[in-house]
A and B are shown apart, each in its own frame.
Chain A
């Protein structure tokens, strides 16, 4: 049976030879837009050291320490009694929009950044920014710095009005599509490990675009680090400091409004999807940080959970005795609203559900821990306490 194999074999050999020639062709002729050699005037205030994208979080930011890690005096708690909510409430952030800290700050470029994955990246052009992560934090920071006009695309979690017109780069499944991103021709990509696949982010780097990975942890403590890292990477460190100060002021103001209870209520953060999926938030869920910030106790952390989210059985939720249930709005919808909660075994038997102490909040806003966190804390405190 040599005849049927010979002809395709010759074609294959020709194809392989062509492939080898093409491989010898090497790199593309035209270098892509970014990553040029720095013949431009160096930034006046840029030090010799690269901006670190993965800085250390400031523990207790806005609760016990200020933006530089210095301890702040303890808040005086109001003496009035605290009453919890009596009917299911949706915590709504007062203003949905983003408040830029200034108008169009001038980036001082080029900037050298040490990305979280160890690569040192040089940013020379910030006219076409793409900031994508699972929670929408990075985009929120970019817009709050006043660089919103330079953004060319957004992720699904970025829903504020100023970004609505931008094409969504991660529909549905939080999965990036390399070609679609390349079509937008970004000049710098800000991202982290919460979104993927990593190979696509690396492909963008292969294409010559500076890709910077930031820390994917999210809590109150990481807010100043993220703001400073993003601002530094985009060449606007002064605007970054302004934003950190403003965010600190907003959060402390919100905390002042939140009464510190003598007996701090126990709040359980639940991730619900239908009746079967019930994940209780524990240390590192993000919500634990917010819950402590409004002077309450996080049930998951106190119960000794070790992971950010744990699938629990119906009996567990009864045994932990939450005073208040905190849910994401999509989770509440998946069980058909507050009425549906009383049909879910386990939840229905908790006092929190029976007495209507259920708070829900929009997913995109609740865990993003960006510059608007002050508003989130205020909204949460207003919903939980009456």
Chain B
């Protein structure tokens, strides 16, 4: 990583400069990697479109947009950008703009949402295992989705299941939170244990819905729980984007207080942090982020656990770095996973949650073993 000119002093703690330097590299590096992966993902899919034609398709749109803008201010110019040929396949343009690009956009948004939600949870509850599934948000969303699928509800057309999932996610989070309050305080352990209990109830309800479902509905429920971005449309991106952007931005404002919270509840209070309000705000943000994440994609576990830990191992626990780096890292992870999911097997679309877990789990184990020997524990 960054080389220091002076020999390291073994008795002094890590100087903040080295972490800050690493953090800078991490964020830029992840951002660049994300852009690269998006470019590769834009060119890869089951409908083969050569990279030149992908670029051509994008440039034609930019050309039209620029010409329109210039026309609006009175300059009528014919820009040469549209000379580049677009996709030759008759459905190539549609495949790019109606199928592939919204899917990549949704992968970026959902990945960022889940990773930031996980990082927030670990900070707020001081528990490295905290994940949206633990306080019951993911299982709660599954209850909403499975009810909508089994009841065959169609009140909002194809929006019915996502809206049900989102509302259920919010409801479950607030339920868990209110159940675990006592005397105006919420202890971490109580919250997590309540979440475990609510998860058990939610799982039972989903199991019942699976039992009474017709074979088609049962398949839908099972696949919703496995997570997939198949069928992502721009409308879904438009709905998810505001939640994710607002959630991530608000979480950035919480960074300093979360750092203080890491010193312990009492110390944080003594330093002026309103712990209860911080927890409530964080939980609302978490609920929004995870709700937006699962509504259209189903349950995608593990992103909220692995990405923040990887970031901490590289750049330390400071939330100012952790939150933006987790957002970028989560987006990167999910875009890569989705790329594999939709191109690995011809004509097929693998479940996304399965991929993130199968690859992430062993990798995480390996990383833990490696870091434990050199770092001696969690930062």
> A: which residues have CB within 8 A of B?
1, 3-5, 7-8, 11, 15, 18, 20-26, 28-30, 32-33, 134, 167-180, 182-183, 185, 194, 196-200, 202-203, 206-209, 271, 279, 307-309, 311
In the bound complex, what is the Cα–Cα distance between A25 and B62 (angstroms)? 6
8 residue pairs of the A-B complex, CB under 8 angstroms, read A4-B23, A21-B61, A25-B60, A25-B64, A26-B64, A30-B86, A33-B90, A180-B46
Known: A21-B66, A182-B94. A175 touches B31 (CB 8 A): no
* Shortest Cβ gap from B345 to chain A (Å): 7
B residues with a Cβ closer than 8 A to A are: 20, 23-24, 27-28, 31, 35, 45-48, 57-58, 60-66, 68-69, 82, 86, 89-91, 93-95, 97-100, 158, 211-212, 214-216, 219-220, 223, 228, 230-233, 236, 320-321, 324, 328, 342, 345-349
Given contacts A168-B347, A199-B230, contact A175 B223 (CB under 8 A): yes
A4 to B323 CA separation, bound complex (whole angstroms): 13
Which residues in A have their C-beta under 8 angstroms from that of B320?
A: 1
B233 in complex: contacting residue of A22, A176, A183, A199, CB < 8 Å: A199
- For A178, what are the chain B residues with a Cβ–Cβ distance below 8 Å? 95, 98-99, 230-231
Q: What distance in Å separates the Cβ of B320 from its nearest Cβ neighbour in chain A? A: 5
Complex partner residue of B91 from A134, A182, A202, CB under 8 angstroms = A182
* B46, B158, B214: the one within 8 Å of A179 (CB): B46
Q: Are B20 and A23 closer than 8 Å at their CB atoms?
A: no
A residues less than 8 Å from B47 (CB atoms): 179-180, 182-183
Nearest CB of A to B258, in Å = 14
**Contact in complex: A25, B347 (CB < 8 Å):** no
| Least distance between A210 CB and chain B CB atoms (Å) | 13
Also in contact, A175 and B90, with CB within 8 A (given A8-B31, A182-B47, A197-B231): no
Chain B residues within 8 Å of A18, by CB: 62
Most B CB contacts (10 A, CB to CB) among A8, A11, A23, A33 go to: A8
Residues on the B chain within 8 Å of A3, using CB:
24
Tell whether, in the assembled complex, residue B345 and residue A171 are in contact, meaning their CB atoms are under 8 Å apart: yes
Closest to B318 in A: A1
- Distance of A291 from chain B, by nearest CB (Å): 19
Give the distance to chain B from A167, nearest Cβ to Cβ, in Å. Answer: 7
A43 to chain B, nearest CB (A): 25
B46 & A183 in contact (Cβ 8 Å cutoff): yes
Which residues of A lie under 8 Å from residue B86 when comparing CB positions?
Answer: 28-30
Set of chain B residues within 8 Å of A7, measured between Cβ atoms: 28
B91 touches A21 (CB 8 A): no
Q: Given contacts A197-B230, A199-B230, is CB(A28)–CB(B215) below 8 Å?
A: no
Q: Are A11 and B349 in contact (CB under 8 A)?
A: no
Known pairs A172-B348, A203-B231. 5 more at Cβ < 8 A? A4-B23, A8-B31, A8-B328, A18-B62, A200-B231
Q: What is the distance, in angstroms, from A278's C-beta to the closest C-beta of chain B?
A: 12
Which B residues lie within 8 Å of A311 (CB)? Answer: 211
The residue in B90, B95, B98, B347 that gathers the most chain A C-beta atoms within 10 A of its C-beta is: B347
Are B347 and A170 in touch, CB under 8 angstroms?
A: yes
Is A8 a contact partner of B28 (Cβ separation < 8 A)?
yes
Instruction: Kindly state the separation between the CA atoms of A138 and B303 in the bound complex, as whole angstroms.
Output: 41
A167: which B residues are within 8 A, CB to CB?
347
- Chain B residues in 8 Å Cβ range of A180: 46-47, 346-347
Q: Which residues of A contact B98 (CB under 8 A)?
A: 178, 203, 206-207
Tell me the complex Cα distance, A29–B59, Å. Answer: 12
User: Which chain B residues lie closer than 8 Å to A20 at the CB level?
Assistant: 65
Residues of chain B within 8 A (CB-CB) of A175 are 223, 228, 230, 348-349
**Which of these, B82, B91, B100, B348, contacts A32 with CB under 8 Å?**
B91
Q: A3-B24, A29-B86 are in contact. Are A179 and B342 (CB under 8 A)?
A: yes
Task: Contacts A179-B342, A180-B346 given; indicate if A11 touches B62 (C-beta within 8 A).
Answer: no
